[in-house]
Amino acid sequence: MREMGSAKRLIHVVAGVIRDVRGRVLLARRTEGRDLAGLWEFPGGKCEPGETPEQALARELHEELGIESRIGAPLIRVPQQYPDKTLVLDVREVEAWHGPARGREGQALAWVPVEKLALYDMPPADRPVVAALLDPPFYAVTPPLQDEAAWLATLDAALAAGLRRVQLRAPGTEPATWRRVAGQAVARCVAAGAQVLVNGDIDLARELGIGVHLRAAQLATLPARPDGMAVAASCHGADDLRHAERLGCDFAVVGHVAATPSHPDRAPLGWDGFARLREHASLPIYAIGGLAREDLVLAREHGAQGIAAIRGFFDAPVVR
């Protein structure tokens, strides 16, 4: 991969999610004199020529921590541009290991409960990794509202099947009706322990005590992040993502990745196009557009932490 005028190094880095018996995850602190010194990272390092990612990670974990390990399933691969290089951070679960783990290169170590990972200062490529460990993999967008009872019943079914992040959106609904039905939907989501955001309407989000999902067109005009609520954004290109990062959004939705009947006029990004956009942002991103739950593995291979969709969530059971 090249930038205009200047060739950047392309490096493949493998890192491991190592857990102790209490489920805490091991972070290591980058030592002085290296790039990104002082930041916390998942232990690992660069893949050497001729090594498989599994071999490289097992070698790095032995060199850095003195442990023997069995490398497990891929978690996420994050493509990321740094000033001097393009990186793919390829994160694997470490299935089994035996220790004791110690910082053999003078690096500090910390065993961190998963829900506290976001409190640690980490390199940009790690933010989507933490989201892949912590956040719901599916973000469902509600369908148009035709029959209120049926609409709420499909929401109930999706929540009962495990959906934990929902965007309330029903374009074309009369405002008073929407306010009332959205209120009922929020009560259901809260009871199920699901995070809920409403599309576009910051005032309604505040009134209902929920998050807001900004439309792409809102991003450029908004001077600051709406305070006191979760904030997500729809992004179609690099400019939108830059605005979303500037505002400090919690996550973004990028698409459309595959062809979808809702946008017949615009060409799909494809997974490669998606990954190129992802390289420049460190926000956690859900991929959207012609995708289903079954695409989660492919999405994670291209740096998406999850899948967002309308179809597929409200007509079939959701698996967490």
Residues that bind ligand 8GT (CB under 6 A): 13, 15, 34-36, 41-42, 44-46, 87, 89, 123, 125-126
Residue the block writes with tokens 């690096």: 107
Nearer to ligand 8GT, 29 or 236 (CB): 29
State the nearest-atom distance from the C-beta of 271 to ligand 8GT, in Å: 21
Nearer to ligand 8GT, 60 or 295 (CB): 60
Task: Provide the terminal-to-terminal Cα distance of the chain, rounded to the nearest Å.
Answer: 35
State the nearest-atom distance from the C-beta of 105 to ligand 8GT, in Å: 10
State the nearest-atom distance from the C-beta of 180 to ligand 8GT, in Å: 46
State the nearest-atom distance from the C-beta of 174 to ligand 8GT, in Å: 48
Nearer to ligand 8GT, 105 or 207 (CB): 105
Q: Which residues of 1-31 are buried (b: 16+ CB within 10 A; e: fewer)?
A: eeeeeeeeeeeebbbbbbbeeeebbbbbbbe
Residues 6+ apart with CB under 8 A from 83: none
The answer to whether 230 and 165 have CB atoms below 8 angstroms apart is no
State the nearest-atom distance from the C-beta of 285 to ligand 8GT, in Å: 17
Which of 165, 149, 151 has the alpha carbon at shortest distance from 309?
Answer: 165
Nearer to ligand 8GT, 31 or 177 (CB): 31
Nearer to ligand 8GT, 130 or 318 (CB): 130
| Alpha carbons 97 and 70: distance in angstroms, whole number | 6
